[in-house]
Amino acid sequence: MLKEHLESHGQTFRQHFKNNWYFTRLALKAAFFTFGHGVTPLISGRRASELHNELWDEGRKLSIEDITHRLNAGLYSNRAEAMQDYYDHAKLYNEAPLLGPFVEFIDQHYGKSK
């Protein structure tokens, strides 16, 4: 199961661990600033928001990298499966408009034009 999971990301265990460790550190730092700002306004609430946004941006970037890897590695059996994965990621981030242009990349991969 671990091997399949790593293959679906196109990463080694070390790369996967490194990515997740980075996300953990970023999340903890964002939580620290959020909590700290709640305790005292001397700790920047704006910095907390910036860190939360950075976390989302990095997550979105890795989601697109994952989908791109799966497309290029032939891990989707058809366009519908690729689109479902795309919609699942877009729904996760509730950012279909930001991820919308990626539909064109999927369509190009499958030779579908509008």
Blockwise average pLDDT, block size 10, the chain, 114 residues: 90 94 95 92 89 90 91 94 90 70 86 69
Residue 98 exposure: Cα atoms within 13 Å on the Cβ side: 13
CA angle 69, 29, 50 (to 5 degrees): 75
Residues 29 and 51 sit within 8 Å (Cβ to Cβ): yes
Q: What is the pTM of this model?
A: 0.72
Model pLDDT, residue 19: 93
pLDDT of residue 103: 84
The set of residues, in sequence order, having a beta carbon less than 8 Å from that of 33 and lying 6+ positions away, is: 43, 44, 45, 47, 48, 51
pLDDT of residue 81: 95
- What pLDDT does residue 44 have? 87
